[in-house]
Amino acid sequence: MIQFGSGPLEVACGSFAVGPLETRVAALRQGKVCVGLVNSDYEIFDDARKHLAGVLGIPVERTLCSVTNNISRAGGWPESADRDLRKALEKLPRQFRRVTVSYGTSEQDELTFNRKARRKNGASYVVREEDRKKMGKAKLGAIDPLASVVRFDDDTGAPALLLAHFTGRPVVSYNREAPVVDPDYCGYALQELAKSFHPMAPVTVFLQGCAGDVSAKFLGGGVRKAKDMGRKLGKSFTEAALGEHVVEETTLGFGSATATLRYAPLPSLQELEGNGSRGHWTEWALEHVRNGVTMPEKECKLEVQALTIGSDVAFVFLPAEPFVGIGLTIRERSPYGLTIPVSCTNSMDPRFIGQAKDLGDVDWLSAFYLEALKQPYAKPAGDMLAFKALQLLNEMKGTTVR
């Protein structure tokens, strides 16, 4: 379904603290079209979307709950934060104000790396932090270095809402032995971005890119390192936020589609019994195959959502953790001036989603089904997310132009 608004574009937004972390809420409205957004370090998908839909009077299908994928949030979402979330959401209908839109981009290639690599024999493996430091950039895979900011200014010219986007899993302050609650580099980048507009106080949002195989450098580097990296990214965000791309035509569009990822059959009984490493997945698969079940599931259906502003800006919201190549494909082939592929939206299942070229690889990112106890994907695998997103964007762009 695709819908377009008419009339002035309005934005409502707010935020609240959850300990040292922050959760942001926002809504975009134009005529009869209204879209809600919750952005947090916590995976609060279903409840947040339900509350958001209720206060805005819109279908749940027109809500978005994106998470930063910051794993330094020990202890989980506190029950007391539910009250704060409800209060922040209930304020939104009274906070709408007219806005103008602009955007900018900057490049930041010092902070992230692709943690999937190949040996000389073609076998894939996950790059450890200690290995990464010894490897040159040429030996590492693709990243997405683009730092983007879409800026919504009110009638006074002050920024009300800044939607910042970057690709890289936040793992710098993470400590397995002594878990911490920390904003990590994504949160510190937002703080740096907001500080650059002082004394104005815009709501700043971090939208995570397709970072299934892209991670921040310095895993477990601690809070000080996370702050240092956050300042660097924050400066890139500030540069982008001052970009001069003004969106003259601000028709708000929202569309959704369903991408179907097909599963492949389980290996044969002979292949499974000959597997030297009889782990949990092999035993799980053997149990199915011995009972004559080679296709426990046929397919996985995933929601793809797109939010567009005129013919200049498009956000594509995807669930789980697609690999970076999926996001790059969407951006490079999109008909919009700036396209922002956002992962970790509305659900983290089925976790890592590789491309067709990753099928058959045994590194745990590509073969996450081994840990999740499910069968592998069939071609075109996660590339179907990109195909469906591009199909939706082209349909929306064609409708806008007409």
> Tens digits of per-residue pLDDT, 254-290?
999 999 999 999 999 999 988 766 789 999 999 999 9
Q: Three-state SS string across the chain, please?
A: CEEECCCCCEEEEEEEEECCEEEEEEEEEECCEEEEEEEECCCCHHHHHHHHHHHHCCCHHHEEEEECCCCCECCCCCCHHHHHHHHHHHHHHHCCEECEEEEEEEECCCCEEECEEECCCCCEEECCHHHHCCCCHHHCCCCCCEEEEEEEECCCCCEEEEEEEECCECCCCCCCCCCCECCHHHHHHHHHHHHCCCCCCCEEEEEECCCCCEEECCCCCCHHHHHHHHHHHHHHHHHHHCCCEEECCCCEEEEEEEEEEEECCCCCHHHHHCCCCCCHHHHHHHHHHHCCCCCCCCEEEEEEEEEEECCCEEEEECCCEECHHHHHHHHHHCCCCEEEEECCECCCCCCEECEHHHCCCCCCCCCCHHHHCCCCECCCECHHHHHHHHHHHHHHHHHHHC
pLDDT confidence of residue 376: 94
pLDDT confidence of residue 274: 83
Ranges of residues in the chain whose predicted pLDDT is under 70: 138, 276-277, 400-402
pLDDT confidence of residue 402: 42
pTM of the model: 0.96
pLDDT confidence of residue 266: 95
pLDDT confidence of residue 276: 66
